[in-house]
């Protein structure tokens, strides 16, 4: 069954050069005097993107019930019908990839290359893999019952769970949101997605995209529901008896809370948490190839990356030369707002969360007090063109030892 083309107009705010929103002096997701609203803004400029209503618990429960009703017929669809929906979504992503990147850039402050690599290519790869391999992964699978049970037969049969939930992080608003939707739909489930309140503005566009793909293929768009809100709505979702499985992408601290909430109903949980990834460089490495790859791994998405390189361990014989070259390159990194400044003059975008700046400075200060050297950066950056943007200087900290808090 072929893909069915459809069109969806991206929000006007995603266009390069858009400047209709007011600049917020102290950007915050909290709307003053309105706990029922989420204040949205571009982290790269501090420019307001408007306000989004926070989903209430009553609205959440209604969405869960509507998703469950839609899932009853969806569970009876064939794999080929499900593939058609994914093909339709994939064709839209490929055709409108620049618009998708611009929406992600506006909501999270990243660069277009970061959005291309981390939003579009990753989503496209998952769509194509699922289209090609999903049915084989979910087919019935026989098992050897063993000698003691040789008079029996054993088989694994995969069945839809019903309504699943995904609570996803802010660093890749498109990929993190649509990724769980792909798996949920192909396995015959409905899904309710709770995106981070820090990227609530773009959620309406992603939701419309998925629902249009379902609709043009003749299926109930109520199968996919998006909710926005603060911690209270996340707790209500993870504690709901109407949820049959939970996927969470975020920090280990919040992951523990999700597991605790889910335990009330023994709801199965899948967690994707942060790491402390390191690269190891030996003295015989080809530095002309090694260093550019490490730089991409470090500055990709302003280091807000679950698999980003956070530490580099260098063999002693190459250490001094390696540090000197990294210092030169990191000093040259240009910060900016790609949709305002142009892609050619920006290497690294903004930070989604400004409330982490104090923590970053504290970790750097602790390391320096214990013998580390901060060769580049180490502080928040006031951008000359975007003073209300959320930037942190690209930072190079060397001679770090295990006793420092940053490790």
pLDDT digits (tens, 9 = 90+) for 65-95: 999 999 999 999 999 999 999 999 999 999 9
Find the range with the poorest average confidence among 235-249, 293-307, 359-373: 293-307
Helices (H), ranges, 96-143: 97-108, 112-115, 122-138
* In the predicted structure, residue 306 carries a pLDDT above the cut 90: no
- What is the spatial distance between Cα 83 and Cα 186, in angstroms, rounded to a whole number? 7
The residue from 91, 135, 272, 310 that is catalytic is 272
pLDDT of residue 343: 75
Q: List CB contacts of 148: < 8 A, sequence separation 6 or more.
A: none
DSSP line for 168-186: E-SSSHHHHHHHHHHHHHH
- What is the spatial distance between Cα 403 and Cα 382, in angstroms, rounded to a whole number? 31
The residue from 135, 306, 325, 327 that is catalytic is 306
* In the predicted structure, residue 358 carries a pLDDT above the cut 80: yes
Local confidence band at 7 (pLDDT 50, 70, 90 cut-offs): very high
The predicted model gives 341-359 an average pLDDT of 89
22-62 confidence digits (pLDDT tens): 999 999 999 988 999 999 999 999 999 999 999 999 999 99
- What is the spatial distance between Cα 73 and Cα 71, in angstroms, rounded to a whole number? 5
Only one residue has tokens 């992603």, namely: 206
Q: Are strands 154-156 and 141-143 parallel, antiparallel or unpaired?
A: antiparallel
* In the predicted structure, residue 354 carries a pLDDT above the cut 90: no
186-242 confidence digits (pLDDT tens): 999 999 999 999 999 999 999 999 999 999 999 999 999 999 999 999 999 999 999
Q: Are strands 278-281 and 269-273 parallel, antiparallel or unpaired?
A: unpaired
197 is catalytic: no
pLDDT of residue 357: 92
- What is the spatial distance between Cα 48 and Cα 41, in angstroms, rounded to a whole number? 4
Local confidence band at 348 (pLDDT 50, 70, 90 cut-offs): very high
pLDDT of residue 383: 96
Q: Name 167's bridge partners.
A: 194, 248
Task: Report the Cα–Cα distance between both ends of the chain, in Å, rounded.
Answer: 52
Q: How far is CA 177 from the centre of its chain?
A: 7
Q: How many residues does the chain have?
A: 407
User: For the chain, how many helices (H) and strands (E)?
Assistant: 13, 15
306 is catalytic: yes
pLDDT of residue 274: 78
pLDDT of residue 276: 73
Q: Name 143's bridge partners.
A: 154
pLDDT of residue 159: 94
pLDDT of residue 32: 87
The predicted model gives 333-347 an average pLDDT of 90
136-189 confidence digits (pLDDT tens): 999 998 888 888 888 888 899 999 999 999 999 999 999 999 999 999 999 999
Distances (CA, A) of 122 to 129, 159, 201: 11, 26, 21
């Amino acid at each position: 069954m072929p893909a069915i083309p459809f069109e969806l107009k991206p929000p006007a705010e995603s266009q390069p050069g858009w400047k209709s929103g007011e600049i917020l002096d102290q950007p915050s997701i909290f709307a003053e005097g309105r706990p029922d609203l989420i204040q949205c803004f571009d982290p790269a400029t501090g420019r307001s993107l408007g306000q989004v209503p926070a989903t209430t618990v009553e609205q959440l429960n209604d969405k869960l019930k509507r998703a469950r009703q839609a899932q009853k017929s969806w569970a009876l669809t064939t794999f080929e019908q499900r593939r058609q929906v994914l093909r339709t979504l994939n064709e839209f992503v490929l055709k409108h990839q620049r618009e998708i990147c611009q929406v992600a850039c506006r909501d999270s402050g990243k660069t277009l290359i970061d959005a291309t690599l981390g939003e579009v290519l990753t989503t496209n790869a998952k769509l194509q893999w699922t289209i090609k391999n999903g049915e084989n992964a979910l087919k019935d699978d026989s098992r050897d019952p063993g000698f003691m049970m040789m008079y029996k037969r054993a088989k694994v049969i995969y069945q839809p769970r019903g309504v699943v939930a995904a609570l996803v992080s802010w660093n890749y608003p498109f990929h993190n949101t649509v990724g769980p939707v792909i798996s949920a739909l192909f396995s015959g489930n409905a899904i309710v997605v709770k995106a981070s309140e820090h990227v609530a503005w773009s959620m309406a566009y992603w939701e419309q995209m998925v629902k249009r793909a379902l609709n043009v293929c003749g299926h109930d768009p109520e199968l996919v529901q998006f909710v926005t809100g603060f911690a209270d709505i996340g707790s209500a979702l993870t504690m709901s008896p109407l949820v049959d499985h939970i996927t969470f992408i975020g920090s280990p601290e919040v992951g523990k809370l999700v597991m605790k909430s889910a335990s009330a109903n023994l709801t199965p949980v899948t967690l994707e948490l942060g790491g402390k990834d390191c690269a190891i460089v030996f003295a015989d490495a080809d530095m002309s190839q090694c260093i550019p790859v490490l730089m991409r791994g470090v500055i990709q998405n302003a280091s807000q990356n679950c698999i980003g390189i956070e530490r580099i361990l260098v063999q002693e014989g190459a250490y001094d030369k390696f540090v000197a070259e990294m210092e030169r390159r990191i000093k040259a990194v240009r910060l900016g707002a790609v949709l305002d400044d142009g892609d050619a003059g920006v290497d690294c975008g903004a930070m989604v969360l400004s409330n982490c700046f104090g923590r970053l400075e504290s970790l750097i200060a602790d390391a320096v007090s214990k013998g580390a050297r901060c060769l580049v950066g180490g502080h928040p950056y006031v951008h000359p063109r975007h003073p209300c943007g959320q930037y942190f200087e690209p930072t190079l900290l060397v001679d770090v030892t295990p006793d420092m808090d940053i490790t």
